Structures are given as structure tokens and as C-alpha cells.
Amino acid sequence: MLIDLHTHSYVSDGTESPSEVIRAADVAGLDVVALTDHDSMAGLEEAAETAAAIGLNFVPGIEVSCTHDGISVHLLAYWPDPSHPDIVAMLERTRTARIHRAREMVALIGVDYALTWDAVVEHSGDAETIGRPHIADALVAAGAFATRDDAFVEVLAGNSAYFVPHYAPSVLDAIRTFRLTGAVPVFAHPGADGRGRVVPTSTIELMARAGLVGLEVEHRDHTEMQRGRLARIAERLDLVHTGSSDYHGAGKPNQLGENVTSPAALEALRALRG
């Protein structure tokens, strides 16, 4: 059984609609797929309907941008309640802050590169939230950089002169909110140091005490050494060991099913659903 619990549609920073992501998962031979757009649950209904129509098992999810001690932390949450006021308020504040930050960064970058806010909005398509990936896509389209990754390295990373921080919920508060509302939180790509600073093991321990359920161990941004270390942490803290593609659609490097979650791990997550 092939299970991929981390994908994105154009509701956030992917290139495909929620339905297209589900159909692509079916073509790739997946048995179970989750849609986990950044800070948005707007695509879940469409994805669920498409999955039901083609007979693919679907897990609703989200990836929330959080922070701890000034370090960015991405938190996956499965089976979130899209109508719970605490979740709605948290996501609305985060999305608003991301848009304000994006506008500020575009203004700064636009001094040195051919970039406008209108171009970024155009490349965000139907996204409910606008972020750095959309700025990167606009820069690539303008010919400033060859790839999205190049744009991140040169102008969008946290150490860039153009970088502007934005509000993000405390990861400990987000974990508690999701657990109290019945969702199942998993720490996304915890060792992805190519994206910036990563939290130490002591923070993962704090997250586990707050209610964290799993660690995304198998991810393309993790080396074999990192995977081994994270697997040992997961075992010691009794966290579910997951793996996912972090698929962002056609034209992006991540391939559906390139890293997967075991059936036993999925059942462990499902058993903790509120």
C-alpha cells in the first residue's frame, strides 16, 4: 500500500488544482493521499469529492507555518476541523500576515529586480495565501532566475537582505489547538536545514510534551544520516514515523510517492484522531 501524506495544490503554492492532485496521485499508483496546503483548508472539499469519485482513500490535512524561538517550523495536521473558530482565527491571522510580508518583500526586491506585486498575484493563481514561492515564480518568469530554488537562495531566504519576517503562531500553541480540536499534528521535514535554521532535539521534546503525534522522517530534504537520527528520536519519544513527497505539482521536482508512510503508521495516526 502506497501512502503519501504531504501534497500541495494551487490553493497554496502548488501548480495543480486539488482535483488534479488527487488524479495525479491515482495515476502514480497511490492508495492513500493527503492534501496539506499551506495555511489553508479551502481545497479539501474538492479533493475529497474527487477522491471519492475515483475510489482513492483521502486524508484531509493542512501545513501551518509556525515558529519557535525565532525558527520557522512547519506543522502538518491531519483531519483538522475546518469550521472550528480557534483554527479559523489562527489561519486567518497567519494568511493576513503572510500577504503583508509578501507585499513588503516585493517592494524591496522590486528596487533591484523586475518584479511587481501584480506579477506575483498573477503567479499566485487561485491561491488563498500568497507567499515566497509565488514571488519566486514571478522572478523566474521575469528571467531573473532560472528556478524557484535559485530565487530562494539569492533573494528569498531568511538571511537575505530582502527578507521580512511575519507573524506565525507558536508551534506549541498550534499543536495544542489541533489536539484539542481533534486533529493529529506531525512535524514536517524537521531536519531540512537547507531551508534555514532547524530546531534542536530539545524543541522536538517540548513539542512531544505539547501533544505532537509524529515526525516526517522520510523527506527529500533529509540526508540518510538525518533520517536515521530522526527515526531514533521518533522511537524514543513514541512519535509516529511518517514519510511523504511534499508534492507541489507538475513541473516541480518532488514526485508523488517518492517517500511514503507505512500502513501501520497511518493507522497509528488515525487512531489518535479526535
pLDDT at position 2: 98
Q: Which residue has cell 498550534?
A: 174
Predicted confidence (pLDDT) per residue in 176-226, tens digit? 999 999 999 999 999 988 777 889 999 999 999 999 999 999 999 999 999
Q: Which amino acid is at 67?
A: T
Predicted confidence (pLDDT) per residue in 95-124, tens digit? 899 899 999 999 999 999 999 999 999 988
Domains, the chain, with CATH or none: 3-64+75-82+174-271 (3.20.20.140)
The yes-or-no verdict on residue 46 having pLDDT over 90 is yes
The yes-or-no verdict on residue 88 having pLDDT over 90 is yes
Mean pLDDT, all residues of the chain: 95
Residue 109, CA distances (Å) to 2, 14, 22, 95, 97 in order: 42, 23, 35, 21, 18
- The pLDDT of 247-266, averaged and rounded, is 95
**Partners of 59 in beta bridges:** 34
Is the alpha carbon torsion for 262, 204, 58, 50 positive or negative? negative
pLDDT at position 149: 86
Please tell me the pTM assigned to this model. 0.90
- Whole-angstrom distance, CA of residue 10 vs CA of residue 122: 12
**Partners of 190 in beta bridges:** none
- The pLDDT of 2-20, averaged and rounded, is 96
pLDDT at position 207: 99
- Whole-angstrom distance, CA of residue 187 vs CA of residue 131: 20
